[in-house]
Structure 1
Amino acid sequence: MAENNIIHKIALSMLKGMNAEIIRHISDCGITPEEFFALEAPALADALKMPRINMLERMNRDEAIFKARKEKELMDRHNIRGSFLLDDDFPVRLLHIADPPVMLYQLGHTDLDGLHIANVVGTRRPSPYGLDFAEKLIEDLSAYFPDLIIVSGLAFGIDAAAHKASIKAERETVAVVAHGLNMIYPAAHRDLARMILKTGGSIVTEYPFGEKPFRQRFLERNRIVAALADITIVIESDIKGGAMSTANTAFSYSRDVAALPGRISDRLSSGCNHLIRKEKAHLIGCAADVIEITGWKPLDKQVAPVQRNLFPELDGDPRLIYDTLRFSMEPMQADSIHTQTLIPMPRLMSALGEMEFDGIIIRHPGNRFSIA
């Protein structure tokens, strides 16, 4: 029964046009994954209050089940774990974005709900300045946080440097790839991928076996890189590129973004300088800056309390959020706040970000919130 259950979940993710919004709608209608594939198309469309779209047709659903069975066999053969959007083991940070993957495949056993997760991204052609900073930053953060996890994209340049620095510091690192787990791209990083797994790290993707990388998938991948971490750190980037995509996505998710500044004449610093100038990123120069931005509590360090107005004057969404948190016995996750306030998730995340910036609320590890 359990095996059939995961097969139906994988099959849902393989249907063309399926996304998190539809998955949640199916669940809200009381339809299980098994029932979704068992019902006849007219009955299913009626139960879901949806038109007869292609994904509901019997032929397409049967084809998805066939592919899912093959995928499950490959997962078992290669020790790959799959996490479904509505399952308890789905990474909490991914639940807080508007467009999470329906299925996340993981090779390795890294805890993606760890307390201290940062992603480090940047140019594929870094200077010694950028490479040195990446290694020193991760080395210093590792000294403060034994459970530090660094996320990146396994690309050339800063991505690879971040993974290698994590391995050198004996910390787990997670590579998010834009293809199925039957391959490694770029191929030159196969040894690096093996070392990531050997040292306790993981390789994750939303794509099933056999799916190849192409440009759009790298952009889609970047949202997972951004969402898996509490802070996105950009180390050298042109004004355009994958690192800027990740940074802008993280900013849109109301996650912290930090950037290493550089000389205005350096093309490789133009993206970082732009993010700082547009107030989308904090300026950083050392590990202490990251700790200050995130509010992480490092080992053997005491954070002085800050006096806050106990009852700030608020209205609208912030007032509703504040009252909800004020009467909670413990920090609340965003989805719990959404359930109680009925504030749409994009608007809620924006309000939470503004309230955190104003010092009204505190964000805890795992993106839980409480009154400051």
Structure 2
Amino acid sequence: MSFDPLAGLPDDTARRDALARARLSALSEPGDGVLGALVAALGAEDALEAALSDADDAAAVAGAAADLEATAVVEGRRRWAPRRGETARVLDDAARTGVVLVTPQHPHWPVRIDDLGPHAPLCLWVRGETSAVRADVAVAIVGARAATGYGEHVAGELAASLAPDGVAVVSGAAYGIDGAAHRAALGAGGVTVAFLAGGVDRAYPAGHQDLLRRIVTTGGAVVGEVPCGSAPTKWRFLARNRLIAAASDATVVVEAGWRSGSLNTASHAASIGRPLGAVPGAITSATSAGCHRLLRTHDAVCITGADDVREMLGIGGEPVGVSVAGDGLLVRVLDALSIRSPRGVDDVARRSGLSPQEVQSTLGLLRLEGAVSASDDGWTALPRR
């Protein structure tokens, strides 16, 4: 292989782990909770060995270590067995198309995605700039494929306004709202990330081949969790939606019918505690019925412009009662907090680049100033009145 898909990994241990994860991604369908539990309990290399083993006693031992019933591992092996022959060539296929394998040991692994627990991806296959997948701030803008001119206009306005602020625009590269958001982010000189349901070496939909190429060549990324050559399927589209939600700090549904797949993305965002927004439309518009449903029954934020999204992301202004001009620590901690979504000290430390001890002491000062509030779920910035 002239191109090394594992080049970004720090050492041989990480490379062995990545190879095992790559093979496991060919063995299973996305979001396989049994395999995710095995990897979490045993590590990727031992989980691969257990998945490929024919010994029932090995299944029992692996299941016990992962707090699973032995039957769950046995049934899992039956699912995985037909694909054993597909695991050996995954890195060769990636090398031929210049695809990078990003794993939890890679410096650009998107840690937000770990919130999916055992249903988190084992690895990500990336074309383009891997750092785009771990942007400091990211928003998912999703919606109907059969979008109206109004929907595409709003999606474009939101993306074009947010992208210059350094907000990565995340979507699924579909026709309609997704495509409008990607194009507008590119047009504004920003970063955009497209999650595909199939292998990243095949453009889907085919009509967006040029769009995907532009994303890859202008600092963005095209991402998938199944190996190169994999076809998109209905199940993989639904599974892909959880990645869009988890890789973003907030999700905005611009236009969606009553049964739109975008509501699936919204549901994933809500289930892992991500802020959720919806753009209202005419009450007579079937393409906005899903957005109105989110506003009525899912406590979604009503989005009327980019400032509403900034507020959801916690980048909409300085909090109450505190002057931040003279203290870099205050600025960095405030920038790492959200107005709506509580964040723990470790999360704030990761986002701010400070130590947990520095974050804890700074949060105490900010609380005295009335700039932040604390709850059992974490810390939240208070908006300026």
Normalised-by-shorter TM-score class = 0.7 to 0.9
> SS at the partner of 2:291?
helix
The aligned residue for residue 302 of structure 1 is 318
Q: Secondary structure at the match of 1:209?
A: coil
The question of 1:93 aligning with 2:93 is answered no
Q: Which residue of 2 aligns with 1:13?
A: 25
Q: Offset of 1:103 from its aligned partner?
A: 2.3
Is the CA contact (8 Å cut-off) linking 2:195 and 2:244 kept in structure 1? Answer: yes
The whole-number CA distance in structure 1 between the counterparts of 2:347 and 2:144 is 40
What SS is found at the alignment partner of 1:82? strand
AA aligned opposite 2:88: R
Structure 1 stretch displaced more, 253-262 or 48-57: 48-57
Matches for 1:114-133 after TM superposition, within 5 Å: 114-133=135-154
Question: Which position in structure 1 is the counterpart of 2:207?
Answer: 188
* Cα offset, 1:87, TM superposition: 6.2
Q: Residues 16 and 172 of structure 1: is their aligned pair in 2 closer, same or farther, counting only changes over 3 Å?
A: closer
What displacement does 1:202 show?
0.7
Contact 2:172 2:196 in 1 (8 A): yes
Whether contact under 8 Å (1:12, 1:33) holds in the other structure is no
Determine which of 230, 254, 261 is the counterpart of 1:235: 254
Cα separation, 1, equivalents of 2:219 and 2:93 = 21
Deviation at 1:107, TM superposition (A): 1.0
Question: In percent, how many aligned pairs have the same letter?
Answer: 29
Could you say what secondary structure the match of 2:87 adopts? Answer: helix
Kindly provide the CA deviation profile for residues 99-156 of structure 1, in whole angstroms up to 9, marking residues without a partner as x: 212222111114222221001111112222222212222222234x1x2110111111
Distance 1:88 1:330, change over 3 A: closer
User: What SS does the corresponding residue of 1:105 show, helix, strand or coil?
Assistant: strand
- Alpha carbons of 1:138 and 1:70: their partners in 2 closer, same or farther (altered >3 Å)? same
Deviation at 1:171, TM superposition (A): 0.6
> In 2 relative to 1, CA 12–86 (structure 1 residues): closer, same or farther, beyond 3 Å?
farther
Q: Distance in 1 between matches of 2:101 and 2:159?
A: 29
1:370 lines up with 2:382 in the alignment: no
Say whether residues 1:211 and 2:230 are aligned partners. yes
Structure 1 residues not aligned, in runs of 5+:
307-321, 334-357, 364-368
Partner residue of 1:168 out of 179, 187, 190: 187
Is the 8 Å Cα contact of residues 84 and 102 (structure 1) preserved in structure 2?
yes
TM-score, structure 1 normalization: 0.74
- Distance of 1:187 and 1:119 partners within structure 2: 22
In structure 1, C-alpha distance between the alignment counterparts of 2:44 and 2:233, rounded to whole Å: 33
Residue 45 to residue 257, structure 1, CA distance change in 2 (3 Å)? same
Establish whether residue 103 from structure 1 lines up as the match of residue 123 from structure 2. Answer: yes
What is the aligned residue count? 316
- 1:72 matched to 2:91? The reply is yes
> Is the Cα–Cα contact under 8 Å of residues 237 and 269 in structure 1 kept in the other structure?
yes
Distance in 2 (alpha carbons) for counterparts of 1:54 and 1:243: 31
What CA deviation, in whole Å up to 9, does each residue of 1:219-252 have, x standing for no partner?
Answer: 1111111111111111111111111211122112
Distance 1:286 1:106 in 2: 31
Say which SS state the counterpart of residue 208 (structure 1) adopts. Answer: coil
Q: Give the alignment's Cα RMSD to 1 decimal.
A: 3.2
Pairing 1:129-168 to 2, within 5 Å after superposition = 129-143=150-164, 145=165, 147-168=166-187
CA–CA separation in structure 2 for the residues paired with 1:361 and 1:79: 46
What is the alpha-carbon distance in structure 1 between the residues aligned to residue 139 and residue 104 of structure 2?
22
The structure-2 alpha-carbon separation of the partners of 1:274 and 1:171, relative to structure 1 and needing over 3 Å to count, comes to same
Q: Indicate the residue corresponding to 1:346 in structure 2.
A: none
AA partner of residue 318 (structure 2):
Q
- Asked whether the equivalents of residues 330 and 370 of structure 1 are also in contact (C-alpha less than 8 Å), the reply is no
Q: Work out whether 1:248 is the aligned partner of 2:264.
A: no
The verdict on how the C-alpha distance between 1:24 and 1:117 changes in structure 2, with shifts beyond 3 A counting, is same
Q: Is the 8 A contact 1:154 1:177 kept in 2?
A: yes
Q: Identify if the C-alpha distance between structure 1 residues 294 and 191 changes in structure 2 by more than 3 Å, giving closer, same or farther.
A: same
Equivalent-residue separation in structure 1 for 2:209 and 2:196 (angstroms): 12
**Could you tell me how far apart the structure 1 residues matched to 2:126 and 2:263 are?**
25
Cα 1:79–1:118 change in 2 (3 A) is same
| CA distance 1:56–1:329, change in 2 (3 Å) | closer
**Letter in structure 2 aligned against 1:133:** V
